[in-house]
Structure 1
Amino acid sequence: MNVAPLSQVFEAEIASTQPLQGGDISEVMKVALADGRKMAVKRGAQVDTEARMLAAMAATGAPVPQVLHQSGDLLCLEWLEETRPSPAGWQALGAGLRQLHNSTGRTYGWPEDYGFGALPIRNAVSENWPEFWARQRLLPFLPALPMPMARRLEALARALPERLPARPPSALLHGDLWTGNALFGEGRAWMIDPACYHGDPEVDLAMLELFGSPPAEFWAGYGPESPGRAERRAIYQLFPALVHLKLFGTAYQGMVARLISAVGI
């Protein structure tokens, strides 16, 4: 990654660079300037969209890294020192997510489409939540499924008006909130690498539970859950499971099948 132009942007020489583990969307590097400042620098085709998403999240008061600079395919973010998750950190994550979800819109979706790596994510705005979830989050994956499983997913999509509320709160969602996208500090937590849109706040909770179980401190920070959330969890977990199936192959077919069965289809 060529970060030389940043010396002019920040009016300081670059002292060191260190490649970091990134996601499927961007290269990531730790950059230290000669004046002692540090930042996380990402390079990718969609970093301008990410910068706008982080700005939208920050406007709600939710804890996210500050955007220091964005130009072309480069995004510079505040450097955050990471520690092991603590009870206080988990509670802070719950409180921060609630702060994000308290910001609501009038419709579901997002002004821009996004993507996980080469996989496009459609965000076309809708006023009907079950319709949005069917058209933008489930049905696009039908070609990736064996025919019997595809038919079951289609049946679930048709049944969504009876399974999901038509007009849940249109919360601002992180959109990809697993533990790898939560960064913990001393008694703090930040949300990173968003894939924002407006939708049912239970979507973020279901994603956080897909590969683990947040501790009690998280729920103490987040606050009360909506009645019936357990019955909707598998419907919302299907989307990230389908993303994993598309990106990483048939090893995730079993997860998708289990989740479809969990909703009784």
Structure 2
Amino acid sequence: MIADEVSRLTGRAVAETRRLSGGDTAAAFAVRLDDGGELFAKSTSPSMPGAAAAEAASLRWLAEPGVVAVPEVFGDGDHCLVTEHVPEGAPTAETAAELGRGLARLHYAGAPAFGSPPPGGPADAWIGLAPMRNEPEDDWPTFYARHRVQPYVRRAVDEGTLSSESGKILDRVCEDVAELAGPAEPPSRLHGDLWSGNVLWGRDRAWLIDPAAHGGHRETDLAMLHLFGCPQLDRVIAGYEEVHPLADGWRSRIPLHQLFPLLVHAVLFGSGFGSQAVQAARRALAG
């Protein structure tokens, strides 16, 4: 039971657990402790080995520079993660701008290499329900093509989600990615799955949750924020640019960086996202 696992991992007595709604990859629980404290816990699927450990390592790594708010990790086991409980609030212009400033500082904190996992994190991690390999490479174009685009293109074609002709369009992006990527940048410390649902608006600041952290290109996090929309996104970007201005032409490269999450969605949820990935590939090739 989740109460027993939380007690085992934290050494604290649990008074009550309450199942929360949502969550595609795990069952989520609000946990009330005997001493009146509150925690958050999630129970990950046995079909996703290492998922709790990977997320715990990601949260600790993102917390390390002290520039963005992430829930504190209180314990993780084979299939359970226990973190700080964050009361929800509403987005404001100032919390959005501060999120942008914090995200810029997080990216600037850097990573050992493109594709490096968080310290103590596994190379074989997860993004949502899809496996994700963190394998260090010397440059971002090689990492992105080899570990973020090609594996999902192959799977989507093999499973019939993408046609072989569509696969060839995506292969062209991989062949040309060095020319499409814009100015070279050092590895950034990425959240890695920064769609709007993984921004939790608290009472006085925005928190980053459910990361798939790794070393990558900072434009990837921003492209994911644009993919499904984000409250006050213009304010987030303005705050970001105050601290760590983006390279010229970054908006034109958004489709390139959106290929990865779109392909992940294609292999998980079907051909509609595959079509969107092909459209993004065409826009990326067109510049």
The answer to whether TM tops 0.5 is yes
Aligned to 1:244: 265
Aligned to 2:120: none
- 1:17-166 to structure 2, matched below 5 A, reads 17-44=17-44, 45=49, 46-61=51-66, 62-111=68-117, 112-143=123-154, 144=156, 145-165=162-182
CA distance in 2, matches of 1:79, 1:54: 14
Aligned length: 265
Q: Which runs of 5+ in 2 are unaligned?
A: 118-122, 157-161
Contact 1:31–1:38 at 8 Å: present in 2 too?
yes
**Match of 2:25, SS?**
coil
Q: Which runs of 5+ in 1 are unaligned?
A: none
Aligned to 2:279: 258
Instruction: Write out the 4+ residue segments of structure 1 that deviate beyond 4 Å after TM superposition.
Output: 8-12
Note the aligned Cα RMSD (angstroms): 1.9
Aligned-pair distance for 1:9?
Answer: 5.2
Q: 1:30-68: per-residue Cα shift (whole Å, max 9, x none)? A: 100121110111122411111111111111112100011
Task: Give the TM-score, by structure 2 length.
Answer: 0.86
Change in Cα spacing, 1:242 to 1:121, as seen in structure 2 (3 Å) is: same
CA distance in 1, matches of 2:70, 2:80: 18
Change in Cα spacing, 1:65 to 1:258, as seen in structure 2 (3 Å) is: same
Equivalent AA in structure 2 for residue 196 of structure 1: A
Equivalent AA in structure 2 for residue 198 of structure 1: G
Aligned to 1:220: 238
- Identical aligned pairs, as a percentage? 35
Q: 1:130-165: per-residue Cα shift (whole Å, max 9, x none)? A: 111111111112231211110111111101121114
2:196 equivalent to 1:171: no
**Match of 2:3, SS?**
coil
Equivalent AA in structure 2 for residue 57 of structure 1: L
Task: Give the TM-score, by structure 1 length.
Answer: 0.93
Contact 1:202–1:229 at 8 Å: present in 2 too?
yes
Aligned-pair distance for 1:180?
Answer: 0.5
Change in Cα spacing, 1:151 to 1:29, as seen in structure 2 (3 Å) is: same
